[in-house]
Structure 1
Amino acid sequence: MNWLNFFDNKTTPLKHPFGRGINAKLSENEEELFNKSYEAFESKDILKAYEYFFKSLENFTNEDSNQNITTRLENEKLYFEIFQGTAKVTGYITQEHLYAEAIITKTSSASVAVKRHILDRNYQLTYAYYFTDDEYIKLKLYHDNITMNPHKIFFPLREITLNADFDKEYMKSEFEGIVLEDISHLEKLDSNEVQIKYDFMQNTITEVEQKIKTLPSNDNAGMQAFLLLNTLYMLDYLLVAKYNIYQKSSKKIQEYFTEENSTMESKNNELRIYIDKLQAMSFEEFSSNFYNAKYTFNQTDKTPKEEMDNFISESLLKIRWYKNNRYTQVISTIYKYISFYVLYNYGLNLVVKELLHTLVEIQNPIFFKDLGYTELYNEKEESFSKKTIIKRIEDIIQPHQDRYKLLEAFGEELNFSSLNEFSNSFYLQIQNLNFEEI
């Protein structure tokens, strides 16, 4: 055995969550479990159908179950717990119906503004609804099992779970003094990890401000937009902040793309003001916006690959325009922006998501090295860990080639001459991936 090759090919498994999706893998027989659930529903074996269904949603880290869904069968009732961030949805299933609820906060501690918000939310939900008992404000779901199947129950359970988590985070951010209940399952981050994230945020914002100063004095709004938006997307994906930081950042991004009556200059200024506030944040305040948790449902619906491919093509055209007009300061930023934008906005299949994360690791080597990951790109030497990268791509694609016969690893086709050329070739190969099932 060539021991040099062995160590060069070795990669560090992911041990931190990144982005807003499920940072784990579903069961290898997820599709089989889903189909068994369907068959059990058709034969009216309701409890067994739900057992199969919940098993299909179970996710794993390094082959170990994350216990994101737990079940217990007792006295012809199937009791369950579903975890999603701050939310713990508990309930039971009988042959006739399903009941689920998530505790939000104590009724006695909820202000008038909180109660008004709860009432408004009921008009926005399709399956679940808020109510109060003697002690708590809860989000609740009741569903008959008469004509149930896995497709029909997926969306109601997804709605109550995602919205319970979102509303708890939103209320914590928007209503001063509110105390969230039923969050003992949340885990505190290691203080060293929080410090690495805080330092990265500070350094990133400083670098962006310095780069903005180097832009041409006239007609630089588009370049500023890329620099500022990429900062927010990057911090969101890499830091995975919760509560106030997440709520405010996502609101700023949403407003940027929906405020049709504002000029780009005005919107850029709003982003700069907010980013300055992030940099002025103390470490103590920053630290209060983090926790680790289990997740069961992705926030974003699956996006057709053609939509992502079109976005990549349009972005590469913009890079070409900046390159032809010698605005080189922003080119490396746009190459990063593409992956962060896609990971933030699109529901991706597992292969594309893992490949884009690999590119993110390569483009942001210092952050990942500080977290203890294998270095894939050395910025000082401008050199790649070529064999490791090629092996990583093979490891991502190979498990899916039985299903997608035309899916091929592309590591050998990449351009390793520079980071920009590498990124360009990587995106082109992403576009060429063939997920046709034959």
Structure 2
Amino acid sequence: MSIWDSLFGRTRGYDPTGDPDFRFGRYTDAYKTPANYAAWDESLHYFEEGKFLESAEAFMRYLLDEREDNVQFQLAEGKLYFEFYQGSKRITGFADEQQLRASASIAELKEPRADLLQRLLGMNYEMKYSRFAINDTNCLAIVFDTPVNDASPHKLYHALKELAMNADKQDDLLIDEFGESLLPTEITHLQQVAPADKALKLDFLTGHIQGVIDYLSQDLLNPEEQPGAVAYLLLDLVYRLDYLLIPEGYTMEALERMHRMYFSREADQPVTYKNIRLLGELQHLMRRAPESFNEELYAGKSTFGITLPANHDRLVSLIDSELPNMDWYQDNGYAEVASAVPGYIAGYALFNYSVPPPDKQLLELYYRVVEDDYFRKLGYQQLFLDQNGRPERRAIRAAISDITDQFRDEYPRLRPATSQLSFDNVVDFGRSYLSMVRELDLTKP
């Protein structure tokens, strides 16, 4: 703050001090540090020289995310012991002169069931590196093992990712379906979400789904003649729920399933049919949420991500193909649909891609603005909408400036054109904001 700001009582407009430390969206392992990449090169070098334990140890350093504190390992008496985390699961393993083996407990098996075991056999067939098994403590587990001289860094990455992702997802899904025969196991490392925050997230889920249902029930849109408008509303909601609530278990899988179903190339179904299925899935989520949703809210460390690395040009292409579609809806009185278009763009990008860090933070800031009330209830102090629901000019510009300052050294040409932003209403702001993001220059020196 300058001396003039101090003298006249002006503030910078944005102060994140005291904000809660929530993380939104799926974990990504795309943002590796120079130390991670150096460890990868060491792992390759050691493997090519036949130093397999040293290669495995360097690989663990490649996986280590110090912000997550997600990996631990120790070389003792000619054996490498390691463990790492993926959401709700802890994966443990070792490597010696003969083999490398890793496993994760899924659930305690109370009683074997033919339909459960048949399900697991089918899933074993689908996996490439790992397999379901029953360990010596009568727990369902996923196991991967390989001769140590075949444990190249490339193979380890894909094999351990397959094991970890399936372990994290299947524990909740199998317990949800076969709860009478399975019990949760190894969940003491999870960080529980505060009851008040769980209640807030439940209200967000049910309130936003009901809001879309109420809008569609007003018959302002003809679902047969305007299926694209309905799709924008529903997909914007799917991605918004996923990014802002970060659910696990059934809800996470349901949101992923909705995305897969809509964009599946195998089933050549009309958009109207897909919209009906999306709406039915969302209604089901809303009905089951009061009983089950709270159990799907917890925080854990992760090692592998599912989103694909993407450069800024990928986001530019998405904006160019979708943003012009909002004009017709706004011009013809469909403000809710027009607002859903930039929401869909931001959500689709965050759901599918690991965009460059400045893009990610700016897209999250978009959510901060349009979901200002939700963030305020979570404990964030900054107001991004005024009492009339208009975007706060000074706070938003200051927040963009703060993001720019964070990445100034890495992206020296990052100069968002905030003068082009419109603050008249949320719809105009969304269009102008994504247009600003589109024009960013993320060229590195």
Q: TM-score range by the shorter chain?
A: 0.7 to 0.9
Deviations 1:109-151 (A, max 9, x none): 3422221121112222222222333423321122344365544
CA contact (8 A) 1:71 1:81 kept: yes
Moved more, 217-226 or 198-207: 217-226
Alignment of 1:222-237 (within 5 A): 222-237=228-243
The 3-state SS of whatever aligns with 2:308 is: coil
Would you say 1:184 and 2:191 are equivalent positions?
no
Moved more, 132-141 or 366-375: 132-141
Deviations 1:39-66 (A, max 9, x none): 4445555444444432333334xxxx43
Would you say 1:367 and 2:374 are equivalent positions?
yes
Task: Give me the CA root mean square deviation.
Answer: 3.0
The 3-state SS of whatever aligns with 1:78 is: strand
Aligned with residue 354 of structure 1, among 348, 352, 361: 361
For 2:437 and 2:158, the matched residues in 1 are separated by 30
The equivalent of 1:136 in structure 2 is: 139
Q: 1:149 to 1:425 in 2, by over 3 A?
A: farther
CA-CA distance at 1:423 after TM superposition:
2.0
| Counterpart AA for 1:279 | M
Would you say 1:154 and 2:157 are equivalent positions?
yes
CA-CA distance at 1:80 after TM superposition:
1.0
CA contact (8 A) 2:28 2:354 kept: no
CA-CA distance at 1:332 after TM superposition:
1.0
For 2:112 and 2:324, the matched residues in 1 are separated by 51
The equivalent of 1:310 in structure 2 is: 317
The equivalent of 2:203 in structure 1 is: 199
Scaled by the length of structure 1, what TM-score is found?
0.87
Seq. identity, %: 25
For 2:396 and 2:37, the matched residues in 1 are separated by 30
The equivalent of 2:263 in structure 1 is: 257
For 1:195 and 1:266, the matched residues in 2 are separated by 33
Aligned with residue 278 of structure 1, among 285, 295, 320: 285
Scaled by the length of structure 2, what TM-score is found?
0.86
The equivalent of 2:22 in structure 1 is: 16
| Counterpart AA for 2:209 | I
For 1:132 and 1:209, the matched residues in 2 are separated by 44
The 3-state SS of whatever aligns with 1:377 is: coil
The equivalent of 1:106 in structure 2 is: 108
Aligned with residue 298 of structure 1, among 296, 305, 308: 305
The 3-state SS of whatever aligns with 2:298 is: coil
Deviations 1:86-107 (A, max 9, x none): 2211001235542111112334
CA contact (8 A) 2:143 2:163 kept: yes
The equivalent of 1:167 in structure 2 is: 170
Deviations 1:326-348 (A, max 9, x none): 43341012221211122112232
Moved more, 285-294 or 259-268: 259-268
CA-CA distance at 1:357 after TM superposition:
1.0
Deviations 1:282-329 (A, max 9, x none): 634322222211111111222354333222211112112323544334
Deviations 1:386-437 (A, max 9, x none): 4443343344344544444544444455333432233223222333334444
CA contact (8 A) 2:335 2:427 kept: no
CA contact (8 A) 1:232 1:249 kept: yes
The 3-state SS of whatever aligns with 1:103 is: strand
Aligned length: 434
CA-CA distance at 1:83 after TM superposition:
0.5
| Counterpart AA for 2:86 | Q
CA-CA distance at 1:200 after TM superposition:
1.6
Q: 1:97 to 1:187 in 2, by over 3 A?
A: same
Would you say 1:57 and 2:57 are equivalent positions?
no
CA contact (8 A) 1:226 1:337 kept: yes
Alignment of 1:87-106 (within 5 A): 87-106=89-108
The 3-state SS of whatever aligns with 2:379 is: coil
| Counterpart AA for 2:249 | Y
Would you say 1:341 and 2:348 are equivalent positions?
yes
The equivalent of 2:248 in structure 1 is: 242
| Counterpart AA for 2:236 | N
The equivalent of 1:31 in structure 2 is: 37
CA contact (8 A) 1:237 1:340 kept: yes
Q: 1:23 to 1:149 in 2, by over 3 A?
A: closer
CA contact (8 A) 1:91 1:99 kept: yes
For 2:268 and 2:26, the matched residues in 1 are separated by 30
CA-CA distance at 1:222 after TM superposition:
2.4
Deviations 1:144-188 (A, max 9, x none): 443655444222221211121122233133334232322222232
Would you say 1:215 and 2:220 are equivalent positions?
yes
Q: 1:23 to 1:238 in 2, by over 3 A?
A: farther
Q: 1:216 to 1:142 in 2, by over 3 A?
A: closer
CA contact (8 A) 2:30 2:305 kept: no
The 3-state SS of whatever aligns with 2:73 is: strand
CA-CA distance at 1:26 after TM superposition:
5.5
The equivalent of 1:327 in structure 2 is: 334
Q: 1:26 to 1:221 in 2, by over 3 A?
A: same
| Counterpart AA for 1:89 | I
Would you say 1:415 and 2:445 are equivalent positions?
no
